Amino acid sequence: MPGKRPTFIHACGFAALALSMQFSAPLSAKVIDQGEGSFVTRDSVTVTATPYETWQALIAPGKWWNDSHTWSGDAKNMYISPQAGGCFCELLPIRPGAPEGVMRGSAMHMEVLFVDPPTALRMRGGLGPLQSEPAEGVLTITLKPVAAGTQIVFEYAVGGYMRYKTAEIAVAVDRVMSEQMNGLAQLLGPAAHGAGSLELVTPTDEGVSPGAAKKPAKPDKKSPSVDDAFKDLNAPPGR
């Protein structure tokens, strides 16, 4: 929509997302670990493409990333420079009425740490609303040849201070990661069902560590909700 950028989850709250998100590729998704101010998500899928075909698609996020999970509203503005020190970045459109000569804005989603085609890509950074938090995240993507084609695994480890309830943000982030993986799988051709299965988890499911799920959250009026965090992703920094 001209003049308006979509939000990170495009007006979908956490609860609605947890209940309604549907995936057409046979995915496996879970929060595999959770602590005080930390969590690890792991999502996997098998595609019919070869590892090198999968790698070439992986480093072209503009072809598979969801438009609603961008700052600009168009995934075509995203790119990955697949070299250590490179950038998983996004170019922002020039705002209407800007004077001539103004450069386009940009956003760094993650910094590239490790590149080994066609087996592994590791990047560091806070995705989505985590960008505004001191917490840090490391995303390790591995590709493994299997009989059906290539198994893709996204493992995202996050730790550090953040102004969100860990049990909520962990599941929300995992679902967003699963949605991106689904886009990549659809681009490449997902393997038949049976190669994996989507496991939807909530903060009280076994995918979240029992201690964290049962421990009552401390009241904190200053802590933003997950809903607000995702809805306000495209708000100007410092708002």
Quote the CA–CA distance of 192 and 196 in Å, as a whole number.
Answer: 9
Give pLDDT tens digits for 222-231.
445 555 554 4
Using the 8-state DSSP alphabet, how is residue 115 labeled? E
N- to C-terminal Cα separation, the chain: 22
Look up the CATH number of domain 22-92+103-210.
3.30.530.20
Full-model pTM:
0.74
Tokens read off for 56: 């070439």
The HSE-up count of residue 181 (CA atoms within 13 Å, CB side) is: 33
Long-range contacts of 139-146 (CB under 8 A, 24+ apart): 139/110, 141/58, 143/51, 143/54, 143/55, 143/58, 143/118, 143/119, 144/51, 144/119, 145/50, 145/51, 146/46, 146/195
Query: What gap in Å lies between CA 198 and CA 178, rounded to an integer?
Result: 9
pLDDT single digits (tens) 117-158: 999 999 999 998 899 999 999 999 999 999 999 999 999 999
